[in-house]
């Protein structure tokens, strides 16, 4: 991938909104986290660097929520409570340098680390200074990770080189919390003084006192201070505005930068405010437009003059100033630039690439000289994954003849996420373009772009495997968020590069445990990051994902293990009140001879080491997930050599139907990717979306239309392990989720949460309701209350989505139907003889689709029964299709109760109840329920002289290890079951009786 920039000759016009200052955001969030009380920081910064600070502080136990455009920070009073042993600064140098020392304020030891390339970044001078202050730390090579003991610093006399202001700021921020007076002295040349002025100014705003010498080389800080909570507003970010200013300066223009309302300021306003003075001295015609609320640049003929600048005060501005100087009359001189070469890249050397375009730049010792030229010629350039280099070279390329391309096209998101939108708003065409497919063995034969599938269609998308989609994301946008794990007390996030790294390690572990291509890997996990990692790891080596519903107990799990012949099972050590790992080993002890289970890998629910039960006697070995991963070496050559294809089976899901046992549904990768791409195209989803996943990932809804959809679309997925509507509402807003596909109960509960709290999901655009028939009244109410388009749909594990409405449909069709056929899918209604019925007639619903499953595992008999003679899939539902093609499910042929998306195996439950001595006859039918769609009601004919109570029934099913979600929630005694002349129970009569009934226990299940 690359950034394509078209050189232009036309006038640049338009207005852009200047984002808020990331420099203020870092400091405000950190100081608020140390304060006693709740601080409110208005003016969110979307910079990726700030997101890393938020993430790290949350990992230290700080509660940070988003309320509209405000950060709400619950300070911990100067004592962090880490939630994990290692905390990551991601790719933010500011976060890393500030938080190494502040980590010592934790109540236990913690390791501070960052992205892989940060682990080669030496921070020795900072570490030595922290040690002088009494911080106890360890580092193997003066690079992250750094192990910091949870012990307050002692203070004392500290010296530090003035190379990087962030090192000095990190010391100043920590010193008020030391046990003794601290004196910090800067040795050698002092760079970036404005950033230190900002640090001190903001500390004072939070009530922390710092005494500073006139030359800003000595700082005296009293011990035992307490930060106070504040309310403040972040100012505009001059560092981001600089790129809009430079673009307007290089072309005939009429540009408004909204948000900048003064040309006077100080480092407390923004440490890069001096850039405005330099730009004006170069001849950029800037004036404040009070009526429009911004800085306006208007000119017909650009005329810039050379400058002589000391870069110690504005080092980060060197790249964009170099761009301006390239088109200025005369020779510009940028002095004292040595420390600018220690940034994300060697920025002075990186800007010499302008010479390949016709520029005249010379670098010697501590000085960069730039002689102005009349014009440039387009070229292929490298951004070195440095956000400021990318944006500066892109602005320069807008003045070049032809089309320039730059590597690492998404680096701008680190500091200025709206840069690309801003440039295009100003009529400067820039776009992220996809390169050709990789070499053989790396997306070989795919021949498709790497961004989103809507650009090239489901057929082409389906030729790319899920591991290939992951690799493309990790290479194109390594620092972007891939998965968010929303826990009850914190959020955990990983980037695309981190996800790819974890997937490779888990894949290597599966190989070490003996898993081979084509084998089933079973795992029973709630919605959490490890579920995604394990799924992609299995697919990485050509194995088959066999997820198991988390609420399955020994009985159902045993069936899945026997049928799948899985030799590896991954479980959590705890799920709600249950201990799944112990249940598994009980199952092995009881039925080990019937199982192929060689390895049970146990995942800690709360992080760290798992609670491991004792290994059973026999051939099954128990492993701790984290320890097993740590002991596994990754050989990517071996992994890449496996190269699974789109045709290989990717998924085995067990689903209950009308028979007495679950059925194993198999789907190849091509079907899953194609199904996701079909929905993307149908709904118009794109890179601006974020996918919320409350549905269990072990269900097709969560697995395919949560995890797979987000992966193919290349956007974040927000996982919620434990359903809680209020927490869900918070996560929707915290992470700006725009799309969800889930069953009726999730929709119903979310509506109630909004009505009770008054808070709405601010970004949610589309809610696709599936799993159980959605009451039309609820759908209409939900659309109104949530401010969201509720779309009806029909799908099965066997077929993926077959029908779906869309936001553009009329309301009565959008939520009043089950949708219309997706592209490439055919729907029909037939009578019992197979004759196709006309529009509006009720009959048997059948469909034909390129995403229909391969077959039921080892059950060719059931597979053949599922299809009509001409190959159409029989859904087992009754339905109508109107003249506009909209489907409406009217009933079910199959005897299945759909409890909020969970299909209850009625025949199996009836058989178990028949076995109770107090039961003479029994039938289980659905009773309508507003929240879940349906619940199960058991009509029981008591055996002579006995009585079966509701609690008796529950104990009986519990004794048979039946999942609670399958238990009937109403028991109704009846003298005799209604039957037809040939003895078949007439369940329609029982359903009529159940229509007015309610569950015995509203909290059941």
Residues 6+ apart with CB under 8 A from 497: 115, 116, 474, 478, 479
Residue 878 has pLDDT above 90, yes or no: no
Asked which of 304-308, 319-323, 374-378, 409-413 is least confident by mean pLDDT, the reply is 409-413
How does pLDDT run across 296-313, given as a tens digit for each residue?
999 999 999 999 999 888
Distance CA 472, CA 942 (A): 62
Residues 6+ apart with CB under 8 A from 782: 747, 748, 750, 751, 767, 788, 790, 815
Say if residue 952 is exposed, middle or buried (CB neighbours under 10 Å; 0-12, 13-18, 19+).
middle
Label residue 934 left, alpha or beta by phi (over 0 means left) and psi (-120 to 50 means alpha).
Answer: beta
Total H helices, total E strands in the chain: 31, 54
Which pLDDT does position 864 carry in this prediction? 92
Distance CA 510, CA 534 (A): 9
Residue 981 has pLDDT above 80, yes or no: no
Provide the Cα torsion 870, 873, 876, 879; round to 10°. -90
331-358 average pLDDT score: 85
| DSSP structure class, residue 573 | S
Distance CA 346, CA 555 (A): 61
Which pLDDT does position 775 carry in this prediction? 65
Q: Tell whether omega for the bond before 517 is within 30 degrees of 0, i.e. cis.
A: no
Which pLDDT does position 970 carry in this prediction? 95
Q: How many C-beta neighbours within 10 Å does residue 355 have?
A: 15
Residue 764 has pLDDT above 90, yes or no: yes
Residue 58 has pLDDT above 70, yes or no: yes
Distance CA 924, CA 893 (A): 15
In DSSP terms, 665 is beta-bridged to 653, 856
Which pLDDT does position 445 carry in this prediction? 30
Cβ atoms 857, 664 nearer than 8 A: yes
Cβ atoms 211, 221 nearer than 8 A: yes
Cβ atoms 268, 212 nearer than 8 A: no
The closest alpha carbon to 689, from 618, 581, 766, 750, belongs to: 766
Query: Is 165 annotated to bind ligand?
Result: yes
DSSP result, 352-383:
GGGGGGT-EEEEETTEEEEE--S-EE--EE--
Say if residue 630 is exposed, middle or buried (CB neighbours under 10 Å; 0-12, 13-18, 19+).
exposed
Distance CA 881, CA 862 (A): 27
Distance CA 163, CA 338 (A): 9
Distance CA 519, CA 569 (A): 12
Instruction: Tell me the domains of the chain and their CATH numbers.
Output: 2-18+236-433 (3.65.10.10), 23-233 (3.65.10.10), 897-994 (3.30.300.30)
Residues 6+ apart with CB under 8 A from 448: 437, 456, 460, 461, 463, 464
How does pLDDT run across 517-560, given as a tens digit for each residue?
999 999 999 999 999 999 999 999 999 999 998 888 888 899 99
Residue 973 Cα distances to 60, 923, 964, angstroms: 56, 11, 21
Q: Helix 580-591 vs helix 554-564: angle between axes, to the nearest 10 degrees? A: 60
How does pLDDT run across 10-57, given as a tens digit for each residue?
999 989 999 998 889 999 999 999 999 999 999 877 777 888 899 899
Which pLDDT does position 1005 carry in this prediction? 41
Distance CA 671, CA 669 (A): 5
597-610 average pLDDT score: 82
Label residue 536 left, alpha or beta by phi (over 0 means left) and psi (-120 to 50 means alpha).
Answer: alpha
Mean pLDDT of the chain: 88
Provide the Cα torsion 386, 197, 58, 745; round to 10°. -80
Distance CA 442, CA 449 (A): 13
Distance CA 208, CA 225 (A): 7
Which pLDDT does position 344 carry in this prediction? 63
Which pLDDT does position 216 carry in this prediction? 94
User: What's the sign of the alpha-carbon dihedral 88, 92, 95, 98?
Assistant: positive
Pairing of strands 403-406, 380-381: parallel
Query: Is 388 annotated to bind ligand?
Result: yes
| DSSP structure class, residue 417 | T
Residue 931 has pLDDT above 90, yes or no: no
DSSP result, 491-508:
EEEEEHHHHHHHHHHHHH
Residue 276 has pLDDT above 50, yes or no: yes
Query: Is 380 annotated to bind ligand?
Result: no
Cβ atoms 623, 506 nearer than 8 A: no
Residue 439 has pLDDT above 50, yes or no: no
Query: Is 162 annotated to bind ligand?
Result: no
Cβ atoms 543, 737 nearer than 8 A: no
Cβ atoms 852, 679 nearer than 8 A: no
How does pLDDT run across 900-930, given as a tens digit for each residue?
888 787 777 887 898 898 988 888 999 998 8
The closest alpha carbon to 400, from 940, 979, 6, 115, belongs to: 6
DSSP result, 182-223:
EEEEEES----HHHHHHHHHHHHHTT---EE-TTS-EEEE-S
Cβ atoms 37, 10 nearer than 8 A: no
Query: Is 93 annotated to bind ligand?
Result: yes
Taking the alpha carbons at both ends of the chain, their separation in whole angstroms is 49
Which pLDDT does position 120 carry in this prediction? 66
Triad 403, 409, 410: Cα angle to 5°: 150
| DSSP structure class, residue 139 | -
Q: Which of 59, 237, 313, 316 is catalytic?
A: 316
pTM, entire model: 0.55
Residue 760 Cα distances to 491, 713, 756, 815, angstroms: 20, 25, 10, 20
Between 405 and 832, the higher pLDDT residue: 405
Query: Is 831 annotated to bind ligand?
Result: no
Helix (H, G, I), strand (E, B) or coil at 37: coil
Q: Respond yes or no: is residue 316 known to be catalytic.
A: yes
Asked which of 137-146, 343-352, 504-513 is least confident by mean pLDDT, the reply is 343-352
Distance CA 778, CA 932 (A): 11
Q: Where are the beta strands (DSSP E) in 517-586?
A: 520-524, 544-547, 568-572
Instruction: Give the confidence band of 119 by pLDDT, cuts at 50, 70, 90.
Output: low
Give me the phi and psi of 166, to 5 degrees please.
-65, -30
Residue 805 has pLDDT above 60, yes or no: yes
Which pLDDT does position 891 carry in this prediction? 65
Distance CA 469, CA 712 (A): 6
73-82 average pLDDT score: 94
Residues 6+ apart with CB under 8 A from 577: none
How does pLDDT run across 237-252, given as a tens digit for each residue?
999 999 999 999 999 9
Cβ atoms 890, 881 nearer than 8 A: no
Task: Give the CA count within 13 Å in the CB-facing half-sphere of 496.
Answer: 22
Per-residue exposure over 192-212, b if at least 16 CB sit within 10 Å of its own CB, e if not: bbbbbbbbbbbbebbbbebeb
Which pLDDT does position 982 carry in this prediction? 44
Say if residue 554 is exposed, middle or buried (CB neighbours under 10 Å; 0-12, 13-18, 19+).
middle
Query: Is 717 annotated to bind ligand?
Result: no
Distance CA 355, CA 361 (A): 6
Distance CA 243, CA 320 (A): 7
Distance CA 398, CA 523 (A): 52
Pairing of strands 211-212, 218-221: antiparallel
Helix (H, G, I), strand (E, B) or coil at 241: helix
DSSP result, 580-634:
HHHHHHHHHHHHGGG----EEEEE-TTSSS--PPPPPSSS-EEEEHHHHHHT---
How does pLDDT run across 621-667, given as a tens digit for each residue?
999 999 999 999 999 889 988 889 999 999 999 975 433 467 899 99
Helix (H, G, I), strand (E, B) or coil at 557: helix
In DSSP terms, 64 is beta-bridged to 73
Pairing of strands 826-830, 855-856: unpaired
């Amino acid at each position: 991938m690359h950034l394509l920039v078209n050189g232009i000759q036309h006038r640049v016009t338009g207005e852009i909104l200047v984002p808020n200052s990331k420099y203020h955001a870092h400091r405000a969030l950190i100081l608020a986290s140390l304060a006693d009380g709740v601080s409110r920081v208005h003016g969110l910064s979307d910079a990726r660097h700030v997101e890393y600070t938020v993430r790290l502080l949350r990992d230290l136990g700080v509660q940070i929520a988003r309320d509209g455009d405000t950060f709400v920070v619950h300070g911990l009073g100067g004592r962090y409570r880490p939630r994990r042993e290692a905390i990551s600064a991601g790719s933010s140098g500011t976060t890393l340098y500030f938080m190494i020392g502040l980590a010592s304020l934790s109540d236990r030891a913690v390791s501070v680390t960052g992205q892989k390339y940060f682990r080669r970044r030496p921070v020795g001078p900072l570490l030595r200074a922290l040690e002088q202050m009494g911080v106890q730390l360890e580092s193997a090579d003066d690079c992250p990770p750094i192990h910091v003991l949870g012990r307050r610093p002692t203070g004392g006399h500290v010296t530090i080189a003035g190379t990087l202001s962030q090192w000095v700021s990190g010391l100043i921020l920590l010193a008020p919390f030391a046990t003794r007076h601290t004196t910090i002295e800067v040795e050698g040349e002092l760079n970036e003084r404005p950033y230190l002025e900002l640090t001190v100014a903001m500390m004072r705003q939070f009530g922390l006192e710092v005494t500073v010498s006139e030359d800003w080389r000595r700082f005296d800080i009293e011990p035992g201070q307490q930060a106070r909570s504040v309310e403040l507003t972040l100012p505009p970010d001059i560092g981001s505005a600089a790129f809009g200013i430079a673009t307007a300066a290089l072309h005939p223009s009429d540009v408004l930068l909204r948000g900048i309302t003064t040309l006077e300021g100080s480092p407390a306003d923004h440490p890069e405010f001096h850039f405005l003075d330099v730009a004006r001295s170069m001849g950029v015609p800037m004036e404040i437009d009070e009526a429009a609320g911004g800085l306006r640049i208007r000119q017909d003929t650009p005329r810039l003059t050379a400058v002589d600048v000391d870069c110690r005060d504005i080092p980060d501005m060197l790249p964009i100033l170099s761009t301006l100087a390239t088109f200025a009359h005369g020779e510009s001189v940028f002095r004292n630039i040595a420390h600018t070469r220690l940034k994300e890249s060697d920025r002075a050397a990186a800007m010499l690439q302008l010479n390949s375009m016709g520029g005249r730049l010379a670098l010697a010792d501590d000085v960069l000289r730039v002689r102005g030229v009349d014009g440039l010629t387009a070229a292929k350039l490298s951004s070195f994954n440095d956000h400021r280099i990318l944006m500066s070279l892109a602005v320069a390329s807008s003045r070049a003849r032809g089309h320039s391309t730059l590597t690492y096209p998404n680096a701008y998101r680190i500091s200025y996420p709206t840069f690309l939108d801003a440039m295009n708003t100003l009529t400067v065409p820039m776009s992220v373009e996809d390169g050709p497919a990789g070499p053989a063995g790396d997306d070989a034969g795919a021949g498709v772009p790497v961004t989103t599938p809507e650009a090239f269609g489901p057929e082409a998308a389906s030729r790319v495997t899920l591991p290939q989609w992951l690799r493309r994301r990790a290479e194109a946008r390594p620092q972007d968020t891939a998965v968010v794990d929303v826990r009850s007390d914190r959020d955990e996030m990983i980037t695309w590069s981190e996800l790819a790294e974890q997937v490779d390690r888990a894949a290597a572990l599966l190989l070490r445990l003996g898993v081979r291509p084509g084998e089933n890997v079973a795992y029973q996990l709630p919605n959490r990051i490890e579920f995604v990692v394990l799924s992609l790891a299995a697919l990485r080596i050509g194995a088959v994902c066999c997820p198991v519903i988390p609420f399955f107990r020994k009985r159902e799990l045993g069936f899945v293990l026997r049928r799948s012949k899985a030799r590896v099972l991954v479980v959590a050590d705890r799920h709600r009140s249950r201990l799944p790992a112990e249940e598994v080993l009980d199952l092995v002890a009881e039925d080990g001879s019937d199982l192929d289970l060689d390895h049970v890998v146990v995942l800690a629910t709360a992080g760290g080491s798992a609670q491991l039960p004792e290994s059973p006697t026999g051939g099954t070995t128990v492993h701790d997930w984290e320890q097993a991963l740590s002991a596994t070496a990754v050989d990517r050559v071996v992994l890449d050599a496996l190269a699974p294809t789109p045709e290989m089976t990717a998924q085995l899901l067990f689903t209950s139907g009308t028979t007495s046992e679950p059925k194993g549904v198999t789907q190849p990768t091509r079907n899953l990717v194609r199904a996701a791409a079909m929905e993307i195209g149908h709904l118009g989803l794109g890179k601006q979306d974020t996918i919320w996943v409350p549905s269990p990932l072990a269900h097709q809804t969560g697995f395919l239309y949560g995890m797979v959809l987000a992966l193919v679309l290349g956007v974040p997925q927000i996982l919620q392990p434990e359903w809680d509507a209020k927490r869900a509402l918070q996560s929707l807003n915290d992470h700006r989720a725009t799309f969800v596909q889930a069953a009726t109960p999730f929709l119903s509960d979310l509506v109630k949460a909004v009505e009770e709290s008054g808070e709405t999901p601010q970004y949610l655009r589309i809610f696709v309701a599936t799993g159980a028939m959605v009451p039309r009244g609820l759908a209409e109410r939900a659309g109104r209350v949530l401010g969201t388009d509720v779309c009806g749909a029909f799908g099965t594990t066997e077929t993926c989505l077959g029908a779906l409405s869309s936001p553009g449909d009329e309301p009565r069709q959008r939520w009043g139907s089950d949708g219309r056929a997706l592209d490439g899918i055919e729907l029909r209604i037939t009578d019992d003889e197979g004759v196709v019925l006309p529009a509006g007639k009720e009959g048997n619903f059948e469909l034909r689709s390129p995403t229909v499953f391969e077959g039921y595992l080892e059950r060719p008999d059931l597979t053949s029964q599922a299809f009509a003679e001409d190959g159409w899939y029989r859904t087992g539902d009754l339905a109508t299709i109107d003249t506009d093609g909209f489907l409406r499910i009217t009933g079910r042929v199959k005897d299945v109760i759909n409890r909020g998306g969970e299909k209850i195996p009625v025949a199996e439950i009836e058989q178990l109840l028949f076995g109770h001595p107090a039961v003479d006859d029994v039938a289980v039918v659905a009773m309508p329920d507003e929240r879940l769609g349906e619940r199960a009601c058991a009509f029981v004919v008591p055996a002579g002289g006995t009585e079966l109570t509701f609690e008796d029934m529950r104990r009986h099913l519990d004794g048979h290890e039946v999942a609670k979600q399958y238990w009937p929630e109403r028991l109704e005694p009846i003298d005799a079951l209604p039957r037809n002349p040939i003895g078949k129970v007439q369940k329609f009569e029982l359903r009529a009786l159940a229509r007015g009934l309610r569950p015995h226990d509203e909290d059941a299940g």
